[in-house]
Amino acid sequence: MNARSFIQRAKALATLMTSRQGVEVTIGGNQAFSQGGRINLPNGDFTDPEWVAMIQGWIDHELGHEKHTDHNIFASSGTIDPALQRILNQLEDARMEKCVGDEFPGAKTNLSQLVGLAIKRELFGKPSAENASHALSCFILYHARRYVVGQHALNDYANEAERICREVMGDDLVDAIKAEIESTAKAKNTHDAFEISKRIYDLIKEEEEKPEDDSDESDQQDDSNESDSDSEDQEGSDESEGDSEGQGDSGDSGESDENEDDTASGDGSGKSEEGSDEQESDSGSGENEEGDNESEETDTGNGEASSGDELNSEESQAPGDSETSDEGQSGQKSEGTMQQLKAALKGFLEDTSTDDFHEKLAELLEVEASEASEECREYDGFNVDVRKQLLPCNNYPLPKEHKQLANRFYQTLYKVIFDNKRSLPVTRTVGSKLLNNKLSGIPAGNLSVFKQGAYQRVKSSAISILVDASGSMNTKFTDKENMYHANTSALALATTFSRMQIDCEVNYFGVWDESDYANYIYKAKPFGQPLTAKRFGVAPTGGTPTHEGMLHAIQSLALKRDERKILFIITDGQANSSRQVEKMVEVAKQLNIKLIPIGLGQTSIRGFDVEDFVSASDMNEVNEALRNAIKQKLFA
């Protein structure tokens, strides 16, 4: 399946699955994202079946959110507690995918295949007993997906996460959480999923905030009751065997019952009970109690055993003694488990990471799209489509603040442009100062060998301004999109150079043509043409083929005969191929073209070293970025 046929299918699905007209689906760049009615698919290898399967699952998931998810509820949950939002994210994904699968069986298949590929690519974390808080998060996610959606490829992970949670947190809490997770299958909307998430959050919060003293006292009371019961059972057992000295017929059940409440009624009875107590208090000592020694060693009336007899007695402990030892160990484990429980619940509630499966998927798609781009697209820029007109549907707001911005740019750039002058000597036939480099011309009749003075002229310059028009430029860091700041900055720069009487061109790369399913370069201002502000209303639409834009600008500058050549690049830094950008940087250096990359809203630009670019959060900081470029000697 090629990209064009895939996007046609995706657009048809968008209308069908969301019941909305005008859902925009694009292929461009290497980023997968969904933003309010627009879904962008990265331009990867559409001949790879696994790539296509992941893209199909991802788009079915995002279209499901377009129709079934109330994003306002999701956003408000984060203001309560990020842990609550994380639970809601896991349950809402499962609820939404169930709705999509119920409506469209084909989508259910796509989503199940996506889960299988995600497991293969390790996008789903394997639960570990060493991190019980992560195991709890895994349990909520995996059990919701297998029970609510029917994604049984996660069964092993879900079972392991549940086992770890039960071991650390106990059956009662896990059963309560499990019941709430399974109730998601009946949730009708995002609000229902939120209520379920809130109940799970409250269960965890309540258990985490429960005072440890109350739990310890309860455990100690339970241990005391068990100890009394075991002691009584042991005493009755010892007396019924008739091992005590000075007693009557131990087979008399009446006497045995009476002696259970009387620890001093006979030497044998007292010693037997003493032995039982010692056994419970120190089950790991390896020493035999006196009551046991008397009942098993008839040749020592005082109840003491030799070291050899002690070893034999240890090897032949009665079943009751072994059970008592196990109970003592269980009590110690319960105390440690309580500490583990508190730590696990606290870790879960304090975890601020989203651990979102589809964010991980989008990152994987970006990586694979970049790899495909670098492997298959060496110099696509040589055949790039260049146009001088925007599409009629482009109604993006025009820049308004460019004149004030241009005044600041002019003051900053004037020196760096006009201080770079070339000095040329003026000669004459008479004078007092000889120019040594002119003497060789005297035999040929060149008698102008005396220096009169010198004049200076500004080096001629050719400047190209390259602007990113990719879909990611719709990001807002202020009240306006990055694209608006880029348009205003580009127009202000062009206005500045026009005032300096320096010819320049302005090109936009990554402009998307819906009819051709391709990016093209738009010339807002060609060399030698007057500047027109209304040509700068460019919207963010396409991918980020930065290297294509750079190649076109470099080719254009290479044809100019000016002494200085400068290329400004305004971008958010998310180029399709960093390797291709690096190649273009080398080409520019070989042609002595100065590069001034400006990262708008970014602190890094793919393909450029840190010292070779400057950053600005918006158009008002571009002037400061230009000053930094001068300090970094990017113009030199």
Q: 94-98, 422-426, 489-493: which has the minimum mean pLDDT?
A: 422-426
Q: 182-186, 205-209, 290-294, 627-631: which has the minimum mean pLDDT?
A: 290-294
How many Å is the Cα radius of gyration of the chain?
40
Which amino acid, 397?
A: P
**Percent of the chain clearing pLDDT 90 (strictly above):** 30
pLDDT (0 to 100) of residue 91: 95
Q: 423-432, 451-460, 624-633: which has the minimum mean pLDDT?
A: 451-460
Question: If you average pLDDT over every residue of the chain, what do you get?
Answer: 75
For residue 526, with 0-12 CB atoms within 10 Å meaning exposed, 13-18 middle and 19 or more buried, which class applies?
A: middle
pLDDT (0 to 100) of residue 590: 85
- Angle (deg, nearest 10), helices 82-103 and 105-120: 130
Residue bearing tokens 């109350």: 214
In this prediction, residue 286 has a pLDDT band, given cuts at 50, 70 and 90, of: very low
Give me the residues paired with residue 35 across strands: 38
Q: Does residue 463 or residue 579 have the better pLDDT? A: 463
Closest CA to 489 of 438, 538, 522, 452: 538
Q: For residues 379 and 548, what is the distance between their CA atoms, to the nearest angstrom?
A: 8
- DSSP structure class, residue 612: G
CB contact set of 33 (below 8 Å; sequence gap of 6+): 39, 40, 362, 471, 472
Average pLDDT over residues 162-166: 94
**Lookup: tokens for 550:** 């750079």
Q: 237-241, 256-260, 566-570, 607-611: which has the minimum mean pLDDT?
A: 256-260
* SS3 annotation, 5-65: HHHHHHHHHHHHHHCCCCCEEEECCCCCEEECCEEEECCCCCCCHHHHHHHHHHHHHHHHH
Which amino acid, 229?
A: S
- DSSP structure class, residue 442: T
Give residue-wise pLDDT tens across range 46-90. Answer: 667 787 788 888 888 888 888 889 989 988 998 899 899 999 999
- DSSP structure class, residue 124: S
**Lookup: tokens for 150:** 């029917």
pLDDT (0 to 100) of residue 468: 95
Using DSSP's 3-state secondary structure scheme, residue 428 falls into: strand
Give residue-wise pLDDT tens across range 102-133. Answer: 988 888 888 999 899 889 888 888 898 889 88
CB contact set of 509 (below 8 Å; sequence gap of 6+): 466, 467, 468, 469, 519, 521, 544, 545, 546, 548, 549, 552
Asked whether residue 514 carries a pLDDT value surpassing 60, the answer given is yes
Asked whether residue 142 carries a pLDDT value surpassing 80, the answer given is yes
Closest CA to 182 of 109, 251, 94, 255: 94
Q: For residues 60 and 53, what is the distance between their CA atoms, to the nearest angstrom?
A: 11
Q: For residues 317 and 332, what is the distance between their CA atoms, to the nearest angstrom?
A: 22
pLDDT (0 to 100) of residue 407: 94
pLDDT (0 to 100) of residue 174: 94
Q: Does residue 556 or residue 278 have the better pLDDT? A: 556
Give residue-wise pLDDT tens across range 530-565. Answer: 999 999 999 998 888 899 899 899 988 988 888 889
Cα angle 282, 284, 289 (rounded to 5 degrees) comes to 55
Give residue-wise pLDDT tens across range 348-383. Answer: 888 766 567 667 777 777 777 666 555 444 444 345
- Angle (deg, nearest 10), helices 357-376 and 105-120: 80
Using DSSP's 3-state secondary structure scheme, residue 599 falls into: strand
Residue bearing tokens 């627009």: 38
In this prediction, residue 429 has a pLDDT band, given cuts at 50, 70 and 90, of: confident
pLDDT (0 to 100) of residue 306: 40
Average pLDDT over residues 421-436: 64
Tally: H helices and E strands in the chain: 21, 12
For residue 530, with 0-12 CB atoms within 10 Å meaning exposed, 13-18 middle and 19 or more buried, which class applies?
A: exposed
- Say how many C-beta atoms besides its own lie within 10 A of residue 332's C-beta: 10
pLDDT (0 to 100) of residue 417: 78
Which amino acid, 54?
A: M
pLDDT (0 to 100) of residue 62: 83
pLDDT (0 to 100) of residue 242: 43
Q: Are 510 and 573 in contact (CB under 8 A)?
A: no
Q: Looking at the chain, how many residues does it have? A: 636
CA dist list (Å): 453 to 423, 431, 435, 447 = 10, 11, 11, 16
Which amino acid, 313?
A: S
Q: 250-264, 572-586, 606-620: which has the minimum mean pLDDT?
A: 250-264
Residue bearing tokens 């030892």: 325
- DSSP structure class, residue 429: S
Going along 429-542, which residue ranges are E strands?
450-458, 461-468, 504-513, 518-525
Q: Are 110 and 56 in contact (CB under 8 A)?
A: yes
**Percent of the chain clearing pLDDT 70 (strictly above):** 64
Helix, strand, coil proportions of the chain in percent (round to 5)?
Answer: 60, 10, 30
Average pLDDT over residues 176-186: 96
pLDDT (0 to 100) of residue 244: 40
334-337 LR contacts (CB < 8 Å, sep 24+)? 334/219, 335/216, 335/219, 337/167, 337/168, 337/170
Rounded to 5 degrees, φ, ψ at 520 are -140, 170
pLDDT (0 to 100) of residue 214: 52
CB contact set of 595 (below 8 Å; sequence gap of 6+): 567, 569, 585, 588, 608, 612, 634
Using DSSP's 3-state secondary structure scheme, residue 40 falls into: strand
Q: For residues 625 and 527, what is the distance between their CA atoms, to the nearest angstrom?
A: 25
Q: Does residue 168 or residue 420 have the better pLDDT? A: 168
**Lookup: tokens for 507:** 């090109």
Q: Does residue 309 or residue 436 have the better pLDDT? A: 436
Average pLDDT over residues 480-506: 94
Most confident of 177-181, 243-247, 255-259, 580-584: 177-181
Asked whether residue 594 carries a pLDDT value surpassing 80, the answer given is yes
Residue bearing tokens 């008397």: 294
